[in-house]
Amino acid sequence: MKIITIPALTNNYSYLIIDEVRAEAAAVDPADPERILQAVLAHGVRLTSLFITHHHPDHTRGNIDLVSRKPSLVVFGSDARIPEISYVVRENMPFQLGSLAVTPYSTPGHTKGSVSYFVTDGHDKALFSGDTLFVAGCGDCVEGDVNELFYSLTKVIATLPPDTNIYPGHEYANKNLSFALNVEPNNEFLQTQFQLARGQSVVVPTTLAQEMTYNPFLRTSEPSVLLNLKVRSPLEAFKRLRTLRDHFG
């Protein structure tokens, strides 16, 4: 399995997932169709599907163009508002991308229909989290509910294998890490990551294991987080973090 990161628009990421065994590929949230097609051509693969995490235009902008050029494309998603959607994914019901196994997880919170895609070749593992999980942060609740987002992160994504590579929908690492330092200023893992990320324009992928050491939204059970936020429960901590992050910077 090979994954190509394709920056698109402002702070947006699209990805090309390549099954090297069958030379087949899927594009995740194709915001810039030209860049997607250039990557397909450069790697000599067949683009057979689009994996869409949610319906927002900055993640679906390329759907209509790509399907018009390649009518056989299968567009995966879980929200009827996704342009050209042709296959509705179901929670924990895997499907194949060539020889790769793909498992969709319902991860609402940012939107009601947000989906994250877990992809593996039996060894390497990747999660395409859209706007649900970012490096050192998470998405805001545009139409979803903070309780749903809490569940999606702590009861779904956090239970995946620690060595899962995380590919988010946007690059907000520097700002997220700066915010996280306000929450846990004595977190050595966080201090190190903040220094490593400074000045970098691309800070993906990360891993779930890494995120568990410094992402405050995945650390709401940690005594240091609860103490610094002056709350008693993980859910209270999560809600407080989301409110503070919404007004940060």
247 as an active site residue: the answer is: no
131 is known as an active-site residue: yes
Residue 100 Cα distances to 107, 115, 189, angstroms: 21, 18, 33
Give the active site residue among 19, 29, 32, 54: 54
Instruction: Point out the catalytic residue in the list 29, 32, 55, 56.
Output: 56
Among 19, 55, 59, 79, the one annotated catalytic: 59
In the residue annotation, 110 being an active-site residue is answered as yes
Annotation marks residue 163 as catalytic: no
Catalytic residue (one of 19, 29, 32, 131): 131
Choose the catalytic residue: 19, 29, 55, 170. Answer: 170
Could you say which of 58, 65, 121, 124 is catalytic?
58
CA 29, CA 35: separation in Å to the nearest integer? Answer: 12
**Is residue 170 annotated as a catalytic residue, yes or no?**
yes
Beta strand pairing status for 165-168 and 125-130?
A: parallel
- Structural contact between residues 131 and 141, judged by C-beta atoms closer than 8 angstroms: no
Which residues are tagged catalytic? Answer: 54, 56, 58-59, 110, 131, 170
